[in-house]
A and B are shown apart, each in its own frame.
Chain A
Amino acid sequence: MDAAERALLEETVRDVVAGAAAAGNGPGSVDAVLGELGWMEMLDAEPRDAVEIVFTALGAANASAGVLDDVMAAALGVTPRADLAVLLPGFGQWDPPGSTGGLLTARAATATEVLVVGAGLATVPMSTVAVTPVHGVDPAGGLHRARIDVDSAGVAGSPLDPAAWDAAVAAGRRAVGHQVSGATRTMLDLARTHALDRVQFGRPVAQFQAVRHRLAEALVAIEGLEATLGAAWDDGTPITAALAKAAAGRTARTVATHCQQVLAGIGFTTDHPFHLSLKRTMVLEGLFGTADAIVLDVGRTLIRTGTVPTLIEL
């Protein structure tokens, strides 16, 4: 895909996702329009472009979808299907969720089967899974709490190499990282527009250095996150994906804090769309581990192995 093709695709996906999200035609509608655009084929042929473009668009439009399930299924070596959900680890977790239960995305509403990783890899009928919609801070996020104890239920699963689960977590972390990047760009756009429009003390508040520096700080965080995502794709190992997800969690908090302060009163109301992105990133932070948990885990690994790898080269 050359740069012009890529730019065209970004624009198309952004418009389609935003349109479907705004139409609010219920669970599965965003998945449906992405399917028409050839999402499954793109994920198979050009996974990096597909994930970068689609998840950034989801984050930017605050759309909820089930495409994370497709990314996870593909990473686990299972052909993704629109009626297949994947059980994700619980909030803040990244161990295989099989015997503890976990989360399902918006895909839960349309799936007929669930792919579950416990001690092995199993596919179970949706009807056997106890599913409760999550309301929480972000009711529009489409998440569900799910419970199925595959390991003790004796479901015939196939053995799974632990490295395959690590690779799937890495794929999930990169995807969610792009979703956070899209969401934080939207927060920054909203705050920037407000700063230029809002007049106090006789001038737009964007003219005050204190406001400008907050917005600059937000952009630095976002650009840093996007660099770690690029490195994670180039490198392809779990550690760079983990660091990108940690950067995503930190970036979401930094950007939300500065943008909310700049948006001030209006950003504290549901009249303004800022709260939607804020709440979505609060939930995304927990998928595959919070920034604090990942940073602690990485730090422990460095200390226990006694080595500090540079990870990426020129």
Chain B
Amino acid sequence: MQIEQFRAELTAWLDSHHDEVAPPFAPPGTLDERIAQMQRVKGILYEAGWMRWGWPERVGGLGGSPLLRSELGAAMAARNLADPGVYSLVEVLAPTLIDYADPDLAADWVPKLLSGEEMWCQGFSEPGTGSDLATLSCRAVPDGGDPETAQTWMINGQKVWTSLAQYSQRCVLLTRTGTPESRHRGITAFFVDLDTPGITISPIEMINGELEFTEVFFDDVAVPADRILGGVDGGWGVAMSILPYERSSCFWQRIAYLYPRVQRLVDAVGDDDRAAEAVGNAFLALHTVRSRSRATQHRLAAGATLGADTSIDKVLVATAEQTLYDAIRKCTPGVIELDDSADGDIARIEYLYSRAATIYGGTAEVQRNIIARRLLDLGEEG
């Protein structure tokens, strides 16, 4: 399947199935409604085959370039069928399972994620561990003391900023298995069933009023050894392997989601130069990151290994998102601040969420540190 053909056929299919895939509620809807909508649409798209393109056949996919996944995610975001932030969990978690889980288990599990039967989450950050992920302390101990022979591991500790754990059946969890000083060398990844006894999930309210984040507590949680991903003390590699997916298809979805927001702004403003300047600036920033992301994905599809260079993409996408929402706030005064209609709710939720663009997925400052160290080769900081 070539991408041009995929795009054309997908567009025609989504047009003709509009009523079936459109949200059954008036936007913005509640987070519960939006999650249910996403899972429902994933089910329809899986059944129709779209959701299976770009994934390997051994996990229920139909094969083809990963670019097909980017195209589908972008179409869903542009048509407001699913929030890109929520939908992107598919893109970061399925490849982890495909690359690091036991092949038979991956073949059982991945279709559940793709088809919307299940949701999974990512347990990385902790109260004391934000940008410096290698300091994480949520502890996993082999039952009986020997990591080679243990059938079960016991997990104790806490995760925070875990998106959507309250909706999820399973979690890719990073744990400390070495000494605290072992940093990235002593981390192990587990694929944990969230209904295991000892797990408590407690939602956190974000500044936009939504409950996307959670705290997850682990109190003597027993996890079978065959749920280790990437081997004992191999968790850092698992965590880092997510980067190319997060920085390619997820960014492409996020960008696709932002174009209709420019359209909304264009529809809302009059023909004056102050608005034209703000619209033009937002459009330029968005076009710049779209150009960059397109080039990045073609490099990935051609077999390149993505690394520190994607920090450029990350800075550009965060900049474009905040430039756009700053333009929206500037050109439609009083809407975000005071409008109690559904339009006001949407503008408010999205504007406040956009403030996190320079924080999640590696802060703007960490990206600049990486660019300075790895791309500009400036040596270590003093």
Residues in chain A within 8 A of chain B (CB atoms):
192, 195-196, 203-204, 206-209, 212-213, 215-217, 219-220, 223-225, 227-228, 230-231, 240, 243, 246-247, 250, 292, 294-300, 302-304, 306-308, 310-314
Contacts and interface: CB of A to CB of B under 8 A. Distances in A.
Q: Is the interface of A mostly helix, strand, loop or mixed?
A: helix
A302 B7 contact: no
A300 B275 CA distance: 8
B382 A310 contact: no
Given A220-B316, A300-B276, A314 B291 contact: no
Interface residues of B, number: 54
Interface stretch (B14-22, B167-175, B256-264, B346-354): B256-264
A299 B256 contact: no
Contact of B266 (A220, A227, A303): A303
A303 B280 CA distance: 9
B259 A246 contact: no
Contact of A228 (B287, B297, B315, B380): B287
B283 A302 contact: yes
B372 interface: yes
Interface of B: 3, 7, 67, 70-71, 74, 252, 256, 259-260, 262-263, 266-267, 269-271, 273, 275-281, 283-284, 287-292, 294-295, 297-298, 312, 315-316, 365, 367-369, 371-373, 375-376, 378-382
20 contacts: A192-B376, A196-B379, A212-B368, A212-B378, A215-B376, A215-B378, A219-B376, A230-B295, A231-B291, A231-B294, A243-B283, A294-B280, A299-B278, A303-B275, A304-B271, A306-B266, A310-B256, A310-B259, A311-B290, A314-B71
B376 to A, nearest CB: 6
Given A299-B281, A302-B283, A220 B371 contact: yes
A298 B3 CA distance: 29
Contact of B368 (A196, A213, A246, A250): A213
Nearest to B280: A299
B280 A228 contact: no
A227 B376 contact: no
A212 B381 contact: yes
Nearest to A250: B284
Nearest to A229: B291
Nearest to A202: B382
A206 B380 CA distance: 9
